[in-house]
């Protein structure tokens, strides 16, 4: 599987994932466990691959152009 998540997108996913994962530490309501949703953006950001992007045909990773030989 190719990398389909660009650098800026990866950084945003990791930051958002960490923020969401910290919610159970800060909130005192039953909704705090929704912060575990942050696992998905964190994993996709660290791996550089997003299955949802692949299904939709989206690619935010810049393509490297090959030089003619």
Question: What is d(CA 26, CA 62) in angstroms, rounded to the nearest whole number?
Answer: 37
Question: What is d(CA 24, CA 13) in angstroms, rounded to the nearest whole number?
Answer: 18
Q: Kindly list the domain boundaries of the chain, sorted by start residue.
A: 7-56
SS3 24: helix
Q: For residue range 23-56, list pLDDT tens digits in order.
A: 999 888 888 888 899 999 999 999 999 998 889 9
Confidence of residue 65 (pLDDT cuts 50, 70, 90): very low
The model carries a pTM of 0.80
């Amino acid at each position: 599987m190719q990398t389909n998540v660009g650098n800026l997108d990866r950084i945003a996913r990791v930051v958002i994932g960490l923020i969401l994962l910290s919610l159970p530490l800060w909130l005192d309501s039953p909704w705090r466990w929704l912060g575990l949703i942050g696992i998905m953006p964190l994993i996709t950001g660290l791996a550089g691959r997003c299955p949802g992007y692949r299904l939709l045909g989206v690619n935010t990773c810049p393509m490297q152009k090959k030089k003619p030989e």
